[in-house]
Amino acid sequence: MELFLAPSSLPQRLKSFLRDQGLSGTYWKKLKAAGALQVNGEIIQRDLLLQPGDRVAWTFLPEPCTLEPEEAPLSILEETELYLAVDKPAGLVTHNAGKERTPALSRRVAWYFQTHHISSAVHPVSRLDRETSGVVLFAKNACLHHMLSRNRLEKTYLALTLGHWEQPAGILDWPIGRRPGSIVERQVDPDGQPARTRYQVLGEKEGLSLVRFQLETGRTHQIRVHAAAAGHPLLGDTLYGTPGAPGRHYLHAWKVAFREPFTGRPVEITAPLPPDFRKVWYNKQ
């Protein structure tokens, strides 16, 4: 990673400059000890006073990966030295831990890192339910994971819901908590955590609505719970409204937007609608 102290800036201590970029004091010490930090091309192992125009460069430290890699297809949407964005298919969990051998997107990413000589553990910044498809973002080291997790991710979903929405757009502002007796299910609960979801109906066909949802908070099953509470559960959602429905619930993480760490560059990553979603919607008259 390479950054410059702007020519218009005042002189600044190196440690302070790195802290302003989001690097912790602990990470600064590790970079120094590893000889992974340079100023104007020279390895630096002490704090010093940067001058305007100085070039600061560092190499992120390698991390061991504890996941069991899984050789399987991986649909990459975007990759930089900081992150990897992939398109998760429905029916696959995002992450499992340690040496578990059940299929998981994180294990496929571990295989990709291994075969492309990327010395990083697997750090999912966002996670999707097993049946939800779409964009999942992975940081390429723990430091970046912390920075991206702290950075606001704007998440936009597309879903097929049952029935006609009386209001074509609005905000669902209902707290969400655990359903008593269940470790998985959630419900609207006045004593739960605040939860806000923006929605806009994009189209209607034969009792189905195509709806865009934007999360303002990030509660477990938030869209599924709010849609069901509004009287419009997701098509195929056996947990919150359509028991015995075949297939999967039709929820797709369509877009993730954020500002890239260090550069502040605005980033938007989108995942195309999967074939099963398109087939259900476009086959309707």
DSSP bridge partners of 2: 57
The residues annotated with a catalytic role in the active site are 129
Which amino acid type is present at position 235? L
Distance CA 242, CA 207 (A): 14
* Contact assessment for residue 235 and residue 250, using Cβ atoms and an 8 Å cutoff: yes
Q: End-to-end CA distance of the chain: give it in Å, rounded.
A: 52
89, 146, 254 from 221: Cα distances, Å:
18, 23, 16
Buried b (16+ CB within 10 A) or exposed e, 131-145: bbbbbbbbbbbebbb
* Contact assessment for residue 159 and residue 252, using Cβ atoms and an 8 Å cutoff: yes
Distance CA 96, CA 157 (A): 23
* Of the candidates 217, 246, 67, 110, the residue with the CA atom closest to the CA atom of residue 155: 217
Can you tell me which residue has the tokens 């992974």?
A: 36
Helix or strand or coil: residue 115?
helix
What's the DSSP call for residue 194? -
* Contact assessment for residue 179 and residue 239, using Cβ atoms and an 8 Å cutoff: no
DSSP bridge partners of 269: 256
Q: Is 238 exposed, middle or buried (0-12, 13-18, 19+ CB in 10 A)?
A: middle
Distance CA 238, CA 285 (A): 25
